[in-house]
């Protein structure tokens, strides 16, 4: 089973989300046992969640791009795991390098988010870069580490069109395996329809940013992934 995860980041208005979903519903092929995950911006969560109730989209799962490190309570602006109850959220992308860089997330905060996600039955997709794989793993209790998916994303490859050399990806996967155990390994960084099969031959899944924004580009990635 492969994971194809769309991360829309802070893109898209309500109307653009609806249009994307229309195109997706119309053109998606049968993905079999593979899992396509859509991680929309929070305000679009309800539309995407409702749309995924359609029987033909039952293999597409809902993800969030972040989660509060705290439980429900007096944390203005935060979206807690409790807030997500009833929306059928299956995955949470946690510790993305943009969250670390622009919102100053620490390894411990990411670990607290992992704890919140797991306690709500949401699978964490923990993002790591070469520099801190071991430190990030060390902040997460061992019994929780093995329940994560781990996405390796080199900063130089994110949003640049310069996808990471497979050899570098595999070297980092082996560090991830030592630190996290036998977890599903995801690659992210300028994945598109031309390079996705190369990565999927060696990874359990891909995290797709730019190429997930246009529905036809994303469907081309999904189709190429399943060939
Ligand atoms: P990209 O983003 O596909 O635009 O490189 C990937 C990511 O940030 O997860």
- Candidates 96, 98, 105, 109; catalytic one: 96
Report the nearest atom of ligand 1 relative to the CA of 158: 5
Residue 159 Cα to ligand 1 midpoint, Å, equals 5
Q: What is the DSSP string of 19-55?
A: HHHHHHHHHPPP-TT-EEEEE--GGGHHHHHHHTTSG
| Ligand 1 centroid to residue 155 C-alpha, Å | 9
CB atoms near residue 60 (< 10 Å): 23
> Does this model's pTM top 0.95?
yes
pLDDT value at residue 2: 96
Share of the chain above pLDDT 90, in %: 93
Using CB distances shorter than 6 Å, the residues near ligand 1 are 7, 153, 158-159, 188-191, 207-211
153 is catalytic: yes
Tell me, yes or no, if 202 is annotated catalytic.
no
Distance 209 CA to ligand 1 centre (A): 4
Specify whether the CB–CB gap between 136 and 144 falls below 8 A: no
User: Per-residue confidence of the chain (227 residues) as pLDDT tens digits?
Assistant: 999 999 999 999 999 999 999 999 999 888 888 999 999 999 999 999 999 999 889 889 999 999 999 999 999 999 999 999 999 999 999 999 999 999 999 999 999 999 999 999 999 999 999 899 999 999 999 999 999 999 999 999 999 999 999 999 999 999 999 999 999 999 999 999 999 999 999 999 999 999 999 999 999 999 999 88
């Amino acid at each position: 089973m492969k994971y194809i995860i769309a991360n829309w980041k802070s893109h898209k208005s309500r109307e653009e989300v609806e249009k994307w979903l229309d195109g997706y519903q119309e053109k998606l092929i049968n993905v079999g046992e593979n899992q396509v995950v859509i991680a929309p911006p929070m305000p679009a969560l309800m539309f995407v969640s409702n749309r995924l109730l359609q029987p033909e989209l039952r293999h597409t799962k809902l993800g969030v791009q972040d989660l509060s490190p705290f439980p429900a309570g007096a944390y203005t602006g935060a979206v807690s795991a409790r807030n997500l109850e009833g929306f059928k959220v299956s995955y949470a992308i946690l510790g993305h390098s943009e969250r670390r860089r622009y919102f100053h997330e620490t390894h411990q905060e990411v670990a607290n988010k992992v704890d919140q996600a797991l306690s709500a039955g949401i699978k964490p997709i923990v993002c790591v870069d070469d520099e801190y794989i071991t430190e990030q793993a060390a902040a997460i209790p061992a019994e929780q580490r093995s329940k994560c998916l781990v996405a390796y994303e080199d900063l130089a490859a994110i949003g640049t069109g310069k996808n990471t050399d497979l050899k570098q990806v595999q070297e980092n996967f082996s560090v991830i395996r030592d630190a996290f155990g036998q977890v599903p390994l995801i690659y992210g960084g300028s994945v598109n329809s031309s390079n996705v099969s190369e990565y999927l031959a060696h990874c359990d899944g891909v995290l797709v940013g730019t190429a997930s924004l246009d529905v036809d580009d994303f469907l081309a990635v999904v189709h190429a992934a399943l060939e």
